[in-house]
């Protein structure tokens, strides 16, 4: 999961870094960050395009002259089972349009407004897909389940102007391009992971991340709740885990924990966005916060000091003590009772301080405890060394493409969750100049995050044996939501497309254009995203201003006049170059100086 990571030199003041992270950066090769206080720009209400949807739909058929306009008279129609999605959509649209948008029961197929219907969907969409039809008179989303309607609403959001994301009333007009979309996911499990143990994030910060990942049809949030540096969930039967084990975080700054009511609030909020929370209690390693909180969990009955560095592999529960299994059973019981979702993640990675025989003994005792609480066990792929029930889900995290134990587990019937660190870890730096993150798994620019196939990535693991895809985000260097956003966007949408869209639609050049169209939306949302030079970001109003620099010429050599305009941006050649289009070279031959 975090193998071979060097310790971070020193620690930063949380207050100082929060100030610094709000600044617009313009370091060569990194691209500037976008300030979180950017508001909607004039002209942002331009009609979107069916060609800009992320993740790309299975089919999207535009219809010329069939645009639909939301007005002050528009109503939202729902059926039994779709009212929750209707209320969500109405709340989203009311704040930016200022329109009343009443939510009404549909007694038949409505002939006006926006309809969210759980009848008549295309038979191919399954339980999570949807069908969207836009005509001048109506917008109709059909699905078989509410989750499908919610996915369709996320597509509808992207078909509206970026200003629809504003929290204040905007002038409009609110046009939706006409046409038809039929869409359904490649994998049923599409996950984002957030480490709240290394650095603690507030309930509101987690909820904001939930809202952001929901836009890209992510439907699972894996919360890494415990680690060496902090225990972040209240356990009533072992209270010092949170009050003492959760007091600090990496760097020695104050940490925190979620009360059980706060955790339930996060879970319920995620459910309202059709996202299922997967709690992780990492064990038998990554347990120093627990060992420091209760001496009896240590083989020598001596509690170690709390740790706030980022070393790994040094801690272990005492495998041969009965109290260890009472502790584990209590924690699993309480966390399972708080979590309505089907999965409970037991970690299991980097247990270097646990002898292999003891490791297997421990897991073989713990896995049945998860089943006894009615949950399906997940764990980092290290758990394949134990005797796994076929329902258990190993999560592959290493950088290689072959692993004998994982292959054997797949042959036995276990589905594999794909999270290769050198492709999907959102905490890896974009390049050597990235101010946040680590690099033990390599640098991951947007193209690297996008250019892999979860269905064929591992030798001996076929697409039918892949459970889904998840993008982990570890927080050793991340202090606040702005840091989370900077590392997740734009790579999270890339991973989301791999998990949702058919492999046949996979095309980097098309994706980077669609991804660039998300920029204005993120600006309105206040997302602190990384402006990768690989992506042709659009200006706020999709209408670039006049560029004063000459157009890029692929036959020219840029040695003196090194500035050009290209893809609505200005660029500076960092060294001698010819024939290399700005933004296309992962070695950053060109520096993106921003929109024209």
pLDDT tens readout for residues 176-229: 999 999 999 999 999 999 999 999 999 999 999 999 999 999 999 999 999 999
Say how many domains are in the chain: 3
Furthest-apart CA atoms within the chain: distance in Å = 76
Residue 356 to residues 311, 352, 362, 379, Cα–Cα distance (Å): 20, 8, 10, 16
With 90 as the cut, is the pLDDT of residue 152 above it? yes
User: Does 371 fall in a domain?
Assistant: yes
586 or 117: whose pLDDT is higher? 117
Q: What is the CATH number of the domain that holds 571?
A: 2.10.10.20
Answer whether residue 19 is part of any domain. no
Query: How confident is the model at residue 547, as a pLDDT?
Result: 65
Q: Select the more confidently predicted residue: 42 or 570.
A: 570
pTM of the model: 0.86
What does the pLDDT read at residue 16?
A: 33
DSSP states of 232-285: -B--TTSTHHHHTTTSB-GGG-B---B-HHHHHHHHHHHHHTT-EEEEE---SS
264 and 298 together in one domain: yes
Reported confidence tier of residue 554, pLDDT bands at 50, 70, 90: confident
541 domain-assigned: no
Q: Are residues 504 and 571 in the same domain?
A: no
205 and 350 inside one domain: yes
Contact status, residue 82 vs residue 146, Cβ threshold 8 Å: yes
Q: Measure Cα distances from 369 to 14, 253, 325, 374 in Å.
A: 39, 35, 9, 9
Question: Looking at the domain assignment, is residue 487 inside a domain?
Answer: yes
Name the domain boundary from 118, 149, 183: 183
Q: What torsion do the CA atoms of 353, 363, 223, 471 make, to the nearest 10 degrees?
A: 80
**Mean pLDDT across 485-514:** 97
Residue 590: band (very low, low, confident or very high) from pLDDT cuts 50, 70, 90: confident
CB neighbourhood size of 146 (10 A): 17
pLDDT bucket at 399, cuts 50 / 70 / 90: very high
On whether both 219 and 309 belong to a single domain, the answer is yes
Which residues form the catalytic set?
A: 350
pLDDT at 103: 98
Q: Is residue 5 part of a domain?
A: no
Looking at the fold, whether 255 and 209 belong to one and the same domain comes out as yes
Q: How many residues does the chain have?
A: 596
Q: Which helix (H) or strand (E) holds 379?
A: strand 376-380
pLDDT, average across residues 37-60 = 70
Range from 40-44, 89-93, 501-505 carrying the lowest mean pLDDT: 40-44
Same domain? 298 vs 444:
yes
pLDDT band for 596, please (50, 70, 90 cuts): low
CATH number of the domain encompassing residue 267: 3.20.20.80
**Does the pLDDT at position 531 exceed 60?**
yes
Instruction: Give per-residue burial for 251-272: e unless 16+ CB within 10 Å, then b.
Output: bebebbbbebebbbebbebbeb
Same domain, 423 and 563: no
Whether 471 and 345 share a structural domain: yes
Q: Which residue range forms the structural domain that includes residue 245?
A: 189-525
Average pLDDT taken over every residue of the chain: 90
Residue 571: its pLDDT value, please?
Answer: 82
Out of 148, 183, 218, a domain closes at 183
Best CA proximity match to 16, nearest among 197, 251, 209: 251
- Please write the tens of the pLDDT for every residue from 354-395: 999 999 999 999 999 999 999 999 999 999 999 999 999 999
Q: Is the pLDDT of residue 9 over 60?
A: no
Given this model, what pLDDT does residue 573 score? Answer: 84
Closest CA to 462 of 521, 434, 494, 503: 503
Token pair recorded at residue 407: 């292959």
Tell me how far apart the alpha carbons of residues 31 and 134 are, in angstroms, rounded to a whole number.
37
For residues 594 and 334, which has the higher predicted lDDT (pLDDT)?
334
Q: Is 90 exceeded by the pLDDT of residue 572?
A: no
pLDDT bucket at 28, cuts 50 / 70 / 90? very low
pLDDT at 8 over 70: no
Does residue 105 fall inside a structural domain?
A: yes
pLDDT at residue 10 tops 50: no
Whether residue 124 lies inside any domain: the answer is: yes
Q: Please tell me the predicted confidence (pLDDT) of residue 560.
A: 66
Are 292 and 303 in contact by the 8 Å Cβ rule? The answer is yes
**Do 115 and 213 fall into the same domain?**
no
- Does residue 34 carry a pLDDT above 50? no
Q: By mean pLDDT, which of 86-95, 335-344, 553-562 is the weakest?
A: 553-562
Please measure the distance between the N-terminal and C-terminal CA atoms of the chain and give it in whole angstroms. 41
CA distances from 548 to 535, 541, 568 (A): 21, 19, 11
Mean pLDDT of 515-537: 95
Q: Tell me, yes or no, whether 118 and 141 share the same domain.
A: yes
Determine, yes or no, domain membership for 336.
yes
Query: Which of 501, 525, 549 is at the close of a domain?
Result: 525
Q: Are residues 273 and 418 in the same domain?
A: yes
pLDDT (0 to 100) of residue 432: 94
**Cβ neighbours around 24 below 10 Å, total:** 12
Percent of the chain with pLDDT over 90: 81
Q: Please give the pLDDT value at position 546.
A: 54
Give CA angle at 280 (277, 281), nearest 5°: 145
The answer on 299 and 211 residing in a single domain is yes
């Amino acid at each position: 999961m975090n193998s071979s990571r060097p310790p971070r030199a020193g620690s930063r003041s949380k207050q100082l870094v929060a100030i610094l992270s709000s600044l617009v950066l313009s370091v060569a090769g990194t691209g500037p960050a976008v300030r979180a206080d950017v508001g909607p720009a004039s002209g942002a209400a331009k009609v979107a395009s069916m060609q800009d949807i992320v993740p790309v739909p299975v089919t999207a058929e535009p219809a010329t002259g069939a645009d639909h306009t939301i007005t002050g008279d528009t109503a939202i129609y729902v059926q039994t089972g779709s009212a929750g999605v209707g209320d969500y959509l109405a709340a989203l649209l009311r704040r930016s349009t200022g329109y009343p948008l009443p939510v009404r029961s549909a007694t038949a197929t409505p002939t006006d407004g926006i309809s969210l219907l759980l009848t008549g969907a295309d038979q191919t969409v399954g339980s999570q897909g949807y069908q969207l039809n836009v005509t001048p008179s109506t917008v109709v989303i059909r699905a078989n389940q509410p989750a499908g309607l919610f996915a369709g609403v996320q597509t509808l959001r992207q078909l509206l102007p970026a200003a629809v994301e504003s929290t204040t009333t905007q002038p409009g007009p609110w046009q939706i391009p006409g046409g038809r979309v039929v869409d359904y996911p490649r994998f049923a499990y599409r996950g984002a992971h957030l480490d709240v143990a290394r650095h603690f994030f507030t309930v509101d910060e987690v909820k904001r991340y939930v809202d952001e990942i929901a836009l890209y049809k992510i439907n699972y949030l894996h919360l890494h709740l415990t680690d060496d540096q902090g225990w972040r969930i209240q356990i009533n039967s072992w209270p010092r885990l949170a009050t003492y084990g959760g007091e600090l975080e990496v760097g020695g700054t104050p940490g925190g924990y979620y009360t059980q009511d706060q955790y339930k609030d996060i879970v319920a909020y995620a459910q309202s966005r059709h996202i299922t929370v997967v709690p992780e209690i990492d064990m038998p390693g990554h347990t120093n916060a627990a060992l420091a909180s209760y001496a009896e969990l240590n083989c020598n009955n001596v509690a170690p000091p709390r740790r706030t560095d980022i070393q790994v592999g040094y801690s272990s529960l005492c495998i041969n003590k009965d109290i260890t299994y009472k502790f584990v059973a209590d924690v699993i019981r309480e966390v399972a009772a708080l979590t309505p979702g089907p999965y409970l993640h037991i970690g299991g990675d980097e247990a270097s301080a646990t002898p292999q025989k003891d490791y297997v003994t421990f897991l073989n005792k713990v896995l049945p405890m998860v089943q006894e609480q009615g949950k399906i066990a997940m764990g980092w792929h290290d758990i394949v060394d134990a005797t796994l029930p076929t329902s258990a889900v190993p999560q592959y995290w290493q950088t290689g493409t072959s692993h004998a134990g994982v292959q054997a587990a797949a042959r036995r019937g276990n589905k594999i969750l794909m999270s290769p660190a050198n492709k999907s870890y959102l905490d890896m730096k974009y390049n050597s100049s990235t101010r946040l993150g680590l690099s033990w798994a390599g640098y991951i620019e947007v193209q690297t995050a996008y250019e892999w196939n979860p269905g064929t990535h591992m030798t001996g693991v076929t697409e039918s044996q892949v459970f889904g895809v998840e993008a982990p985000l570890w927080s050793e260097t991340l202090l606040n939501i702005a840091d989370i956003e900077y590392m997740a966007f734009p790579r999270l949408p890339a991973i989301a497309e791999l998990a949702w869209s058919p492999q046949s639609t996979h095309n980097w050049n098309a994706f980077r254009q669609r991804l660039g169209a998300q920029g204005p939306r993120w600006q309105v949302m206040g997302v602190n995203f990384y402006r990768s030079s690989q992506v042709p970001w659009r200006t706020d109003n999709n209408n670039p201003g006049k560029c004063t620099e000459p157009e890029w010429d692929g036959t020219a050599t840029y040695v003196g006049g090194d500035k050009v305009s290209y893809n609505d941006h200005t660029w500076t050649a960092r060294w001698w170059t010819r024939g290399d289009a700005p933004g296309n070279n992962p070695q950053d031959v060109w520096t993106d100086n921003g929109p024209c």
